[in-house]
Amino acid sequence: MNDPNGCFLDGNGTWHLYYQYNPTGLTAGNQHWGHATSPDLYHWTNQPIALFPPTPDDGVFSGSVVVDANNTSGFFPDQTDGVVAIYTLHTPTSESQYIAYSYDSGYTFTVYEGNPVLDIGSDQFRDPKVIWYEDHWVMVVAYATEFTIGIFTSNDLKTWDHASNVTDIGLFGLLYECPNLVQVPLWENGKATGELHWVLIISINPGAPQGGSISQYFPGTFDGYKFTPSDGGTRISDFAKDNYAEQFFFGTKADEAVSIAWASNWQYTNNLPTASEGWRSVMSLPRMNYLTKVERTGWEMGSLPYGIDAVRSRELSYDGDFVNKSVIVDYSNVTSGALYFEATFSLPPVKNITGVPTFNLTFSAPGSSDKLRAGYIFGGSNAGIGWIDRRNTSGYGGDDPLFTDRFSVAGVALAKTISGVIDRTILEMFIDDGAFSGTSLFFPQDKFSNLTLEAQGMPDDAKVTIAVWELNGVWDNQ
């Protein structure tokens, strides 16, 4: 699997995830829409393939899914929960936008006979994301090689009119892909204000600061026809390398912006060693997204795991006074191999800190030299930097010059929280309530089973709390 496509929450509380899927191989190609459903975004059931390409030379590329509650399309005269998929059909000579409709909440689809619904005669025009705005549908779609996001409007999902373009913003890379236009809640001091703000997300491939693919976002205003960025800044959604093409779920509450991303990178995804187990690629954790203002640099779109309590179980370690301490958490008996950790910090202003206080995490396996490290620096010339280091995981990457092995992010103010999830071969780390997040794959030769936490060099008046929980497995064989 790779890029998530349509994502929506149906009226019965079931989450639907569609994704790029090759049923005949372990690398990208022969693109279909896979489909999985979940009651909580953690426990998933694989469903039959949702959309098939019409010929072996075609591919069903990325898109989105909406619930046509008002039957604007005319497909659903007798129901209020009809589902419409909007997607790119890629052929050897063209890319155009198609729709298909479903009477059974998105499990099976009928392809619209009047397709394509939007065709500009291009072979680089893809990834439509459709939302409802007051009294009409809005589509954002990528003119991939022209560094342009087109905004189109429709009353019926069948006929689309060009409204405006967003052009030449952010990092260009080689391609623009997988745009999203979404309202996210505003937070101040860690709490929702009740206000919402528009954000445009554009994925680029390649061209990321760390190399390969990444997503960037732009806070701004939207009037139903035109998007205007709030400033000239370019903001990256992840400080590591394995978070791409996040897709926001249609049908959530207005104050809930929930997304899921593809946790990989186009530079090396086709070479990763999981093929020996018969699969490649995973999705990120489901994320709850919000927009906040941070010191000096302004807008940041934060993200945190959504609904983690669905899988969080036994507490493995807790210390309410973890100043200048270390602890080793043995999780060898955690069947899932997955942990959730949280740490909170209260330190004086950085100008009053002497020395270099640090918080460090090391994941390892007894008897093995493999380890994954991460941490945060609270003092000195690098105060405010969080980091991830995967260079000492020897199951993959040593011979791949594109498998970048160290990542960092700098914030102006010192972090108050650091949390995250490790799940066998992926780490998702969240700094300061997720104002900054880092997603990193790693492949050790031996399964990690120890977590060492350290808070060192802390001033006497610091306060540090740590907690580590087991995460339940979500598949039958766990």
Q: Are strands 95-102 and 227-229 parallel, antiparallel or unpaired?
A: unpaired
User: Taking the alpha carbons of 292, 295, 296, 300 in that order, is the dihedral positive or negative?
Assistant: negative
- Cα-flanking dihedrals φ and ψ of residue 269, to 5°? -60, -35
Tokens found for residue 295: 């010191």
CB 7 within 8 A of CB 17: yes
Token pair recorded at residue 364: 């390892």
* Distant-in-sequence, close-in-space partners of 189: CB < 8 Å, separation ≥ 6: none
- CB of 331 within 8 A of CB of 450? yes
Enclosing H/E stretch for 211: none
Q: Is 188 a catalytic residue?
A: no
Q: Annotated catalytic residue: which of 3, 95, 432, 433?
A: 3
Which token pair is 353?
């800190």
Q: Per this entry, what is the length of the chain?
A: 478
User: Radius of gyration over alpha carbons of the chain, in Å?
Assistant: 22
DSSP, res 147: T
- In which residue are the tokens 């994925």 written? 203
Find out whether 128 and 247 touch, Cβ atoms under 8 Å.
no
Q: Do 230 and 242 form a contact (C-beta atoms < 8 A)? A: no
Is 3 a residue of the active site? Answer: yes
- Distance separating alpha carbons of residues 260 and 219, to the nearest angstrom: 19
> Which among 95, 127, 177, 246 is annotated as catalytic?
177
Between CA 62 and CA 30, with CA 208 as vertex, the angle to 5 degrees is 30
Catalytic residues: 3, 177
